[in-house]
Each structure stands twice: as C-alpha cells, then as structure tokens.
Amino acid sequence: MSLTNNAGVLNTLWKVIESYEQNPEPLFKQLGLDLKLAEDPNARIPYAKVERLWQEAIALLTDPNIGFKAAELWHPSSAGALSYAWLTSASLRDAFGRLVRYMRVTTDAIECHTDESEHDFSIFHSFTSEVAYIPELVDFHLAIIMNLCRKNYGPSLNPVTVNLSHPTPKNSGAYFAFFCCPVHFDSPQDSLTFTKKVIDKRLGSSNPMLAQLHDQFMIKYLANLDADNVIERIKSIIIEQLPSGNVTDNSVANALNMSRRTIHRRLQQEGTTFRVILNEVRSELADQYIQDSSLNLNEISYLLGFSEMSSFSRAFKRWTGDSPSYYR
C-alpha cells in the first residue's frame, strides 16, 4: 500500500518558503501539488511527494534551522482532529497516547511509541522503513510536539533530555535554545523525555467531551481510510453508541448495514470477537476519562454505556486490578 500524508502539510511548507521571500508556486507546480488541497481536511497526497517537497525546500532555502521555522509557522488545524484532541487531553500522558494511536490521521510514514522508567517518560519518533530519514523533518516534528506540550502545560515546560539520531549540526545552539535542555546527537533513536510528574499533571485545558468527539472523528476517519478494516469500523460505531447504554452486535451490524452473522464471521477471520472489541474500547476510554477529575464516576459509567455504577466498577477492576476510586 502506498504511503499517504494529510494535505495540510502543503499549507505549512508554502508559508515556510514564502517566509524566506521565495515564491513557492514554481516548486509546487514542478511536483504537481495544488495548495487548494490543503483546504480539504480529508485530502491526502502521496507521501513520496511530501518527502520530495521537503528535500527541494531544504535545498532551495539552505537554512539548517528550517525545521524549527516550519514548526513556528505550523498551525494545529494542519493536523485536524489529532491536534484538537491533544489540546483537550486530561494530561500529557493522555495526549501522547492519542499521538501513538492516531498518528496515521496525519501520515502513514511516521510511527511513535512511548516508554517509561521509574521517574521518566519518553516519546519516540521514527520513520517507516520505506522512507528517507530527513533530519530537518525530524526537527520539525519534535518541535511541533514540544510546542503542543507547551500549549497544554505552559510555556516554561522543558524536557529532561532530547535525543536525535542525526549528527551534530553546525547550528547546535539553536537546538539548546529551543528545547532548553541537554540535546544529544548521534543517538540510537529520536526522542523527547519528560519527568512523570510533568506527564501526569492534570491539565487546565482538559475537556473530556471535546476530546471524545475528536477521538470519534479520528476513529471514523481511519475506518474510512481502511475501508476493509472491519475492526476499526466496529470501534467507531461502538464509541458512537456507548452513551445510549444499548450497544449490541445487532445494533452495530445495523449501523454498518451488515447482518449479525457477517459481523461475527468477519471478526472470527480477524481472530477476535465482538465482546473483546467492546471491552477494549471501554477500557481505553475508561483510562482516558478516569484521569479527568471534572468527570465523576457516575458520569464515566454512563459514558461507557453501563446501566449501573456497580457494573462499571467490576469491569474496571477486571481491566486494571483496582477499583475506579482507588485508581483515580
């Protein structure tokens, strides 16, 4: 399958080229790219063209700090629902979880994962094996992540450390000035590391209802992107129906214009069941909601489609080993 990228990146790169008093139109025409695509939040373009656009812009502008400049000009609307779900997350841990789950909303070419030690939490950035490693693009992505963290947490937020796998550039001072922490080049992986105290702090910008709406949009978007991915399509419908308290294999099958038998057969082919998927969705959402102190446990129980608080408590203990109140 060919890798694709959300077309919103075109708007950012157009602005970047213009900011250096260069005309981006010839380059866009050369690569067969139309800026109007950026106006459609659902439009996607081949990642190969995005990669080429970055390479040509880097060659044209000859600024080793272009990644930071691009991050400065980037707007959250370029990443659509992923940015807005991030900005309404209950904590940075919650936000990073969304980044890992929904990165494909913005691009197929990048993967993220997290890891943690006793005191620290790290987010790792990597390109898929099919694409070129572009140092300036790594700088751009990590700078965007850092800017989003500072929007949520506050402008004084700095990582514990930054690791970059590309060699030390001549302008290394720009990295220390932006991240305001030790920056290590020639590292095995690209990553940002924060303290767990920072990662788990309750954020004042948290809005669980908006975050959930953006999650639903992204699940639908990915389900449409992978039209044959029956699991993602079922998850999308489950999230929609949960607050009704009446999510069944029949109700989901009807929403997908499938028979109940077809749903079960398709899931069996994928090695799972409707009950497993329902529990996975509830467990993931419960983990998000429980971190938001603006939601009481009865409200969380309702949002997850449980008719009684006791049913939610039993399910939550089965998922985590703790009661909801103890976990919170």
Contact residues for 14 (Cβ-Cβ < 8 A; gap 6+)? 24, 28, 35, 38
Same domain flag for 323 and 288: yes
Same domain flag for 192 and 236: no
**Per-residue model confidence (pLDDT) at position 223:** 76
Task: Give the tens place of pLDDT for each residue, 290-320.
Answer: 877 778 899 899 889 998 899 999 999 999 8
**Per-residue model confidence (pLDDT) at position 130:** 82
**Per-residue model confidence (pLDDT) at position 226:** 72
261 pLDDT above the threshold of 80: yes
Domain that holds residue 21: 4-199
Position 269 in a domain: yes
187 touches 81 (CB < 8 A): no
**Per-residue model confidence (pLDDT) at position 176:** 96
d(CA 124, CA 112): 5
Same domain flag for 29 and 118: yes
Same domain flag for 73 and 160: yes
Position 215 in a domain: no
Same domain flag for 135 and 265: no
Same domain flag for 123 and 193: yes
Where residue 9 sits, what CATH number does that domain have?
Answer: 3.90.1520
**Per-residue model confidence (pLDDT) at position 228:** 63
Position 210 in a domain: no
Same domain flag for 43 and 178: yes
**Per-residue model confidence (pLDDT) at position 52:** 96
Measured in residues, the chain has a length of: 328
187 pLDDT above the threshold of 80: yes
Structure tokens at 264: 């079960």
Average pLDDT over residues 100-127: 95
Position 111 in a domain: yes
Same domain flag for 31 and 118: yes
Same domain flag for 195 and 238: no
d(CA 182, CA 174): 12
pLDDT band at 1 (very low <50, low <70, confident <90, very high): low
324 touches 313 (CB < 8 A): yes
Most confident of 29-33, 187-191, 299-303: 187-191
% pLDDT > 70, the chain:
99
**How many folded domains does the chain comprise?**
2
Where residue 261 sits, what CATH number does that domain have?
Answer: 1.10.10.60
Which sign does the torsion angle of CA 279, 313, 113, 174 carry? positive
Task: Give the tens place of pLDDT for each residue, 42-67.
Answer: 889 999 999 999 999 999 999 999 99
244 pLDDT above the threshold of 90: no
Same domain flag for 187 and 263: no
**Per-residue model confidence (pLDDT) at position 227:** 64
Average confidence score pLDDT of the chain: 92
Strands (DSSP E) contained in 57-133 are: 110-116, 120-127
d(CA 286, CA 90): 12
133 pLDDT above the threshold of 90: yes
Same domain flag for 151 and 255: no
For residue 133, is it left (φ>0), alpha (ψ between -120 and 50) or beta? beta
Predicted model pTM: 0.77
**Which letter does DSSP use for residue 295 in this model?**
S
**Per-residue model confidence (pLDDT) at position 290:** 84
Position 254 in a domain: yes
Position 233 in a domain: yes
Same domain flag for 20 and 131: yes
